[in-house]
Structure 1
């Protein structure tokens, strides 16, 4: 009898069917921004604590891990296309509550978040980071993560916020076009 190997690795293609924006939209159809940031924060907190583990269902953590990997890849695809997502370049002051972790410059052009993140870390390093916080948050381990996981965490949260902002601006643009035309 012939052995059949099942490949569980997610597919990463950059065709029209799987564009970066489509991947982002899919992510936010199943995950809310605030809930995603909260889960990521919980995972990070438990990953650096000794003698404790996250009390979420492992299936939820695995699904979130796969979703966030997809979102990071979506950001990478968008960054490669070099499109501007700036809304206005006027020097008006933006409320700090609206910004989240983003700077004013990043808020005006969310693509900068992805450019900076992928200038500092590769897709493989973000995968390593996500796998590491999943691993260390799911059990009690003597050792802590061997690398600095704070900066990839901050970049990931900023990518969540930037992706949400890009989609919100895209929806607003479509609504404005629909209402004016």
Structure 2
């Protein structure tokens, strides 16, 4: 049976077709810094409530931001599945609450938990709808009321950004199969 691959559609912003979620995360942060993504997402949410247009001088930049974030979300969904075979390398315990960013201690120790929680709470389509609506509303000159929860996807997106950056900094390693060794000794 052939596995269906998710297209990350990275060619819109990275000029390459990237098929590995780990490579996509690297390209995502090579394209722009974590602070840029957090700032742009926060500003888009703020402008979705205003009668002003976000990035009025360069509205095309918000479209590129949208395509990069959409690719990032697809990679995060794949990372949720990859958590069974991969783990983040150990690091020194965080000495300050600032090291945690938006993550709990448990999420800091195992960033894959963030992806599992996020996609247990919202489907990939719901995250995509959230991104689309935020971009649409931030580029609209009129303030509109919306009848969906914006905070939950926003908070999970921030957590996924922090978790993926942490994974990139600390590196990954395959989980060794110790289960087989334990079964042969019994």
Work out whether the TM-score is over 0.5.
yes
Once the two structures are TM-superposed, the CA of residue 93 in structure 1 deviates from its matched residue by 5.4
Report the Cα distance in structure 2 between the residues aligned to 1:94 and 1:71, rounded to whole angstroms.
Answer: 29
Residues 40 and 133 (structure 1 numbering): CA distance in 2 closer, same or farther, change over 3 Å? Answer: same
The answer to whether the 8 Å contact 1:94/1:104 transfers is: no
Residues 140 and 32 (structure 1 numbering): CA distance in 2 closer, same or farther, change over 3 Å? Answer: same
Map 1:78-89 to 2 at 5 A: 78-82=79-83, 83-85=86-88, 87-88=90-91
Report the Cα distance in structure 1 between the residues aligned to 2:64 and 2:43, rounded to whole angstroms.
Answer: 15
The answer to whether the 8 Å contact 2:137/2:143 transfers is: no
Report the Cα distance in structure 1 between the residues aligned to 2:133 and 2:73, rounded to whole angstroms.
Answer: 16
Q: Deviations over 1:22-64 (max 9, x none)?
A: 11011111010011110111001111x2322212512110111
Q: Deviations over 1:57-84 (max 9, x none)?
A: 1211011101011111111111112222
Aligned residues: 157
Report the Cα distance in structure 2 between the residues aligned to 1:19 and 1:147, rounded to whole angstroms.
Answer: 32
* More displaced 10-residue stretch of structure 1: 55-64 or 34-43: 55-64
Give 1:11's aligned residue: 7
Give 1:126's aligned residue: 127
Report the Cα distance in structure 2 between the residues aligned to 1:67 and 1:37, rounded to whole angstroms.
Answer: 13
Report the Cα distance in structure 2 between the residues aligned to 1:170 and 1:142, rounded to whole angstroms.
Answer: 43
The answer to whether the 8 Å contact 1:136/1:145 transfers is: no
**Over the residues paired in the alignment, what is the CA RMSD in angstroms?**
2.1
Quick check: which one's helix share is greater? 1
Q: TM-score, normalised by structure 2?
A: 0.77
SS in 2 for 1:87: coil
Gaps of 5+ in 2: 1-5, 10-17, 174-186
Report the Cα distance in structure 2 between the residues aligned to 1:61 and 1:158, rounded to whole angstroms.
Answer: 21
Report the Cα distance in structure 2 between the residues aligned to 1:142 and 1:27, rounded to whole angstroms.
Answer: 31
